[in-house]
Every structure is written in C-alpha cells, then in structure tokens.
C-alpha cells in the first residue's frame, strides 16, 4: 500500500516507522514547508493519506487530499464542531475519511467500558461523575478529543448529565473536565464517580505514541477501497 503522510512531526515519524515495518511504502511527506506537494504526482499516487496536524489545518488538509483523489485517515482533534458539514461533503462527493479521536486499541476498549459504566450508574444518582485528562505540553486543544468522546459516551447513557464544562466545578447537569498539560505525557484519561460513601475510577494511561501510530496504519489498511465517513467502530465492530 502507498501511504502519504500529512504532518511530519513526532507523530508522523512514528507512523512512518510503523508503516514501513508493515511492508508499506511512504510515497510523500507533507509538512508546513512543502504544502505544494499536495499537487505532486507522488501525493496523487498514494492509496491513503494519514493526517496528524493541528485543528486549524485539518479540514483544509482533508479537502486538498480529496481533490487529489486520496482517501484520508485522520487523528487530528479540535475541529469537530464542523463535523456535520464535513459528513455532508463526504456523502455528496463520494470522499473517504476515517476519523478517530484516538487510534489506540486500549482507548477504544476504554470507550466501551466507559459507556457501560455510565449505563450502570443511571441506577445510582448519589454518584457524581467528573473527568481528568493529562497530555504533553504540545497538545493544542483542551479538552482532548479523547476526553470529548468519553464525555459523549457518558451523556448518551447517563440521564442526569447533558453537557460538559472545562474546569473542576460544574452544575448538577454538567460534567467537569479538568485538562492538564505537562511535560511529554502521551495521554492519561480518568473518569471518576464519587458519592459520600466511596468513589469509583477507571483510567487509561498511554505509555507512548506507538499504539496510536499502529492504530492509524491499521485504519489505513482497512480504509482502502471504502467510501464514506468511517470510525474505529467500523473497524473494531464493537
């Protein structure tokens, strides 16, 4: 499979290493200083582009890749307020976008555990739920996309919560999300249910970025020949 990389920082270089180890060819690497390569023959020859950049750049990157006839796998977060518009664009034009807030297999198992726990907690209103996430200092969006996926999973399954707020205090119907940026932390997410009697916590801690990179390459393998908006649920079939 021929892969193009959009974003060639730390994450892009790890993805390249994983892709090569799985027998794929990296035919183009696009970063800030070579944006014209979206129009290059090398980029157009790719079966799929894997995109990890910044929230402000992501949608333009998708559109430039689609214009070149290249499917996209993306892990960029912080832009999803425009997701309905992008889904419509994909459906109307037959484009392909596989997007995930987190490509780690462990995190996606954690997403399912989080939803199940929220369903159970519907029976126990004495427990209030909060969230804490910690990432490296280079991460631009807060809360993280992973935290927002987790909070959506809670709100969809816990009747007493219908919105979130950034910080440590919240109204009874809100979920407080504390977002910290420290050092080179790959990602720690904790969901905490607390009552006057006790507390219950579930936590996912990423040890490094290799798990995210591997998941994105597996998604690229999965997406070949497919159309539409795809997610990890399509890949993992939970």
pLDDT value, residue 206: 92
User: Is the N-terminal amide bond of 189 cis, ω within 30° of 0?
Assistant: no
pLDDT value, residue 57: 96
Instruction: Work out the percent of the chain whose per-residue pLDDT is above 90.
Output: 93
pLDDT value, residue 226: 96
The per-residue pLDDT for range 152-178, each reduced to its tens digit, is 999 999 999 999 999 999 999 999 999
- Alpha-carbon distance of 150 to 229, in angstroms, equals 20
- Alpha-carbon distance of 52 to 47, in angstroms, equals 17
The per-residue pLDDT for range 36-84, each reduced to its tens digit, is 999 999 999 999 999 999 999 999 999 999 999 999 999 998 899 999 9
The per-residue pLDDT for range 182-212, each reduced to its tens digit, is 999 999 999 999 999 999 999 999 998 899 9
pLDDT value, residue 140: 83
Average pLDDT over residues 97-124: 96
Average pLDDT over residues 95-121: 96
The residues annotated with a catalytic role in the active site are 135, 139
**Average pLDDT of the chain to the nearest whole number:** 96
The per-residue pLDDT for range 211-227, each reduced to its tens digit, is 999 999 999 999 989 99
Q: In the sheet where 2-6 sits, what is the strand order? A: 25-30, 2-6, 48-51, 71-74, 96-99, 228-230
Is pLDDT of 238 > 80? no
């Amino acid at each position: 499979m021929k892969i193009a990389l959009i974003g060639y920082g730390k994450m892009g270089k790890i993805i390249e290493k994983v892709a090569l180890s799985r027998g794929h060819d990296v035919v183009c690497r696009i970063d800030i200083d070579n944006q014209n390569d979206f129009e290059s023959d090398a980029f157009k020859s790719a079966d799929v582009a894997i995109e990890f950049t910044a929230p402000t750049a992501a949608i333009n990157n998708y559109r430039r890749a689609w214009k070149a006839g290249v499917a996209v796998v993306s892990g960029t977060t912080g832009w999803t307020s425009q997701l309905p518009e992008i889904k419509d664009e994909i459906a109307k034009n037959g484009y392909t976008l596989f997007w995930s807030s987190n490509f780690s297999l462990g995190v996606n198992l954690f997403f399912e555990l989080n939803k199940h726990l929220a369903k159970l907690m519907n029976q126990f209103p004495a427990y209030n739920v909060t969230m804490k996430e910690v990432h490296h200092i280079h991460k631009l969006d807060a809360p993280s996309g992973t935290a927002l996926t987790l909070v959506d999973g809670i709100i969809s399954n816990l009747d007493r919560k219908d919105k979130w707020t950034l910080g440590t205090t919240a109204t009874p119907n809100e979920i407080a999300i504390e977002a910290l940026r420290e050092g080179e932390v790959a990602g720690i997410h904790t969901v905490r249910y607390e009552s006057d009697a006790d507390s219950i916590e579930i936590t996912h801690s990423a040890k490094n970025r290799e798990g995210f990179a591997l998941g994105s390459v597996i998604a690229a393998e999965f997406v070949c020949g497919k159309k539409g908006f795809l997610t990890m649920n399509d890949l993992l079939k939970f």
